[in-house]
Amino acid sequence: MSIPLKSAKIQLMKPRVRIAPSPTGYPHIGTIWQALINYTFAKRNKGKFIVRIEDTDRQRYVPQAEKRLFQALSWFGLEPDESPQHGGTNGPYRQSKRLDLYKKYAFQLVKKNKAYCCFCSQKRIDKVREKMKRTGRPPMYDRHCRRLKMEEAEKRIKAGEKYVIRLKVPQKKTITVNDLIRGKIKFDANLIDDQVLIKSDGYPTYHLAVVVDDHLMKITHMVRGEEWISSAPKIVLLYDYFGWSKPVFVHTSLLRNPDKSKLSKRQSHTNVSWYQQEGYLPKAILNFLCLLGWSHPQEKTIFSLEEFIKYFDLKDLSSVGPVVDLKKLDYINGVYIRNMSDKKLIQLIEPYLKNYSLFMTRYSLEKIIPLIKQRITKLSEVKSLVEFLIKPVDYQPQLLIKKGADKKNLRKQLVEVENKLVSLKNWQTEKIYQAVKEIFQQGSYHKKHFYVNLYLAIEGKPAGLPLFDSLEILGREESLKRLENAQKKI
């Protein structure tokens, strides 16, 4: 037998969607992905995007986490229509300010015989579950208090006994969850625990709070990660027990690493702050996130948020866990950098060069920025690109002299280049290039080794900013000095 699902009365053209993060850590890139999906769906359908803070887990509460979340949303341009910060007519938007509501609705269920007061100690519950484990059964509560009469429960409450309120899950039934992406998902009610709704400290658990809040805030689509699928039958039961219309259920796939493991908070690249510090651009990150579990109808890789809003629909999301491939993000970010004006890029890279005051005064960023722009995929890479312009090159013999290399031939090359450049009258990129090219063409040098050796002598690494532009930027005196120093290392 299946519990019937009531059709949600939804204004499809004006949906109300939300994210409901807990302030138990700093903003996660997965939270931004969920925000992007909800924000986009709301904007496309002229609906509302809401942020509700689920702050009832006081033991794991992190100060400043909520502030950081809203700063991150602003950085990405995903501003909510309603939230603790933005206000609205359906607040309060923090669960800690709504505790009386949860208790009120929990006792409504008790009166309707859809929930009950449980007085079992944690010690007793642990013993029951341990016994179930030993006999090969799922470790669930044994429903010891389920048959308590309301009168007896009220007496025990008045006497000061600690209690929780539990959901009365039906037995020998199938609970069906209709999911927009995954279709019908069926659950055996016998394997579902009598979920605690109100804890002994008076705080609600997730299941009760999310249903009460979503109903009162008129949420039309419950969009959340697939890790919450196991809680879906309890959510369905609560909607049915209250007699409320259900939202559309949408369980998005888990974000995964390239090795298919779950993207975890323990990894540095899950925090929004990591992406900011590395120098990824917010529009590029959003573009990347748009492609997780969704494909552009024209198979584009680079497109704006406005274009995503134009084409996106929740039903088009994939049920397969998308991979967070940072190499792809690097590519997308690089495109955004190259499409940016030089003036804007200078403003963005200056914080990464704040310890390079000598560089900022000695060299013209306007001259160097076109060279940098073509070679970085994120802003933080600028430091390693220009470092050689300020710091003396630390020549590594093992780099200058590759295994099997001819030391004599290498020294000959560097001497010839130095002698040629000493007499060069016009110290400009093209003239330097022509002079060095003549040496290569007249000698018996391996082309790749020839230019890599010069890179190592001038920049201290086998690749970097364009070699001949670098020589012009460094100037004649410094360039010749580096060629001479490199010879001494051989």
Instruction: Tell me the residue length of the chain.
Output: 490
Task: Give the amino acid at 158.
Answer: K
Q: Minimal CA–CA distance to 440: which of 425, 432, 450, 430?
A: 450
Task: Tell me the C-alpha distance between 229 and 220, whole Å.
Answer: 18
Tokens of 107: 């006792």
Helices (H), 350-406: 357-362, 365-373, 382-390, 397-400
Query: Across the chain, which distance is largest between two alpha carbons, in Å?
Result: 105
Q: Give, as one character, the DSSP assignment of residue 253.
A: P
Tokens of 452: 């890599």
- Sheet with strand 115-118: strands edge to edge: 115-118, 164-167, 196-198
Active site residue 123: no
Q: What is the phi/psi pair of residue 343, to 5°?
A: -60, -45
Task: Tell me the C-alpha distance between 30 and 256, whole Å.
Answer: 10
- Identify the residue whose tokens are 């020998």: 172
Determine if residue 404 is left, alpha or beta; phi over 0 gives left, psi from -120 to 50 gives alpha, anything else beta: left
Task: Tell me the C-alpha distance between 365 and 181, whole Å.
Answer: 50
Q: What angle do CA 250, 214, 203 make, to 5 degrees?
A: 115
Instruction: Calculate Rg over the CA atoms of the chain.
Output: 32
Tokens of 323: 């991979």
- Identify the residue whose tokens are 């308590």: 148
Q: How buried is residue 258: exposed, middle or buried, by Cβ count under 10 Å (0-12/13-18/19+)?
A: exposed
Q: What is the phi/psi pair of residue 403, to 5°?
A: -60, 125
The one catalytic residue in 265, 310, 391, 437 is 265
Distances (CA, A) of 130 to 125, 137, 154: 9, 10, 30
Catalytic residue ranges: 265
